[in-house]
Amino acid sequence: MKEIDYPDMRRANNGAHGMFMKSVSERLEKESEVMKNAVMQRAAMALKAAMEEESLYLGRSRKSLLTDEIKTADKERDGLLTGLRATVRGLRRLPDPEKAKTAQELEVMLSGNRVKRSMQLDRETGMITKLTEELETTYASQVSLLSIGLFVSGLKAANERVKGLIDERSNGEVERKPAAMQQARLRTDAAFRQVARVANAMAVLEDEAVVAPFINFVNELVRRYRQQVFPKRKKKAESTKTENA
């Protein structure tokens, strides 16, 4: 009687683990006769869903979950800073002498700040924090006179959002991502075991010839992983020799 051999997938790294599950899931979808079994259909759907979730976490472990959000917030922040500078520059041409002079003073202050988009993200964030603090305190009267408070408050909020996302990414990458990936792997392993149980049961209770090609495929994949992918276990004698050396 044919049956699927259960591999210890804990020995596979994340990439190899994901590829194994993807191969099994894709092969199962091609087994039209096997997929006529209602129980196998549910098991296959569960495996595919778990595998796709694991694949998502695998990608996220390489690229932070928050990277895109940081880019979006940074772009918004840069746009507000550019708009603030352009507005102040334009206000220098006002026919009101007092406001024109105030705009000139603020332009000098903004030019001296020298915040650039090409800066390292943390450095840019720190400089914008200092800039908004000065605009809210030292230059508060000028900001009020020129009615550019919305620019300042918007820039401050966008900058704080960038800082918060950077902090969240720094705190979360080490603590949450590996744990989330591990849990995703466990769910995929459980889904695979259910597929294997159903396939083995079909070999006994139904036509073994129908499910045999799928079982053979999985067992060959398991054999190859054991030989080529899983790290080799040291023999007991070699291990003892190493310890005594």
Which of 151, 174, 197 is the endpoint of a domain? Answer: 174
Total domain count, the chain? 2
Residue 13 is predicted with a pLDDT of: 87
Q: What is the mean pLDDT of each successive set of 10 residues along the chain, which is 245 residues long? A: 86 89 94 95 95 77 67 92 95 95 94 84 91 95 96 95 84 60 92 96 93 95 89 56 43
Structure tokens belonging to residue 35:
């997929």
Q: What is the pLDDT of residue 242?
A: 41
Residues 110 and 191 in one domain: no
Q: How far is CA 235 from CA 54, 115, 232, 239, 242, in A?
A: 33, 61, 9, 6, 11
Is there a single domain that holds both residue 15 and residue 99? no
- At residue 230, the pLDDT reads 83
Residues 181 and 170 in one domain: no
How far are the Cα atoms of 70, 84, 153, 171 from residue 58, in angstroms, in the given order? 20, 41, 38, 19
pLDDT confidence of residue 55: 82
Are 58 and 37 contained in the same domain?
yes
Domain range holding 71?
A: 67-174
User: Quick one: 71 and 135 in the same domain?
Assistant: yes
Give pLDDT, residue 192.
96
Q: How many CB atoms lie within 10 A of CB 166?
A: 17
Question: Does residue 13 sit in the same domain as residue 23?
Answer: yes
Same domain for 121 and 35: no
Residue 1 included in any domain: no
Asked whether the beta carbons of 215 and 28 are under 8 A apart, the reply is: no
Report if pTM > 0.75.
no
**Exposed / middle / buried, residue 171 (Cβ in 10 Å: 0-12, 13-18, 19+):** exposed
Is residue 39 situated within a structural domain?
Answer: yes
pLDDT at position 113: 84
Angle formed by the axes of helices 149-175 and 121-136, to 10°? Answer: 150
Burial environment of residue 83 by CB neighbours within 10 A (0 to 12, 13 to 18, 19 or more): middle
Same structural domain, 74 and 126: yes
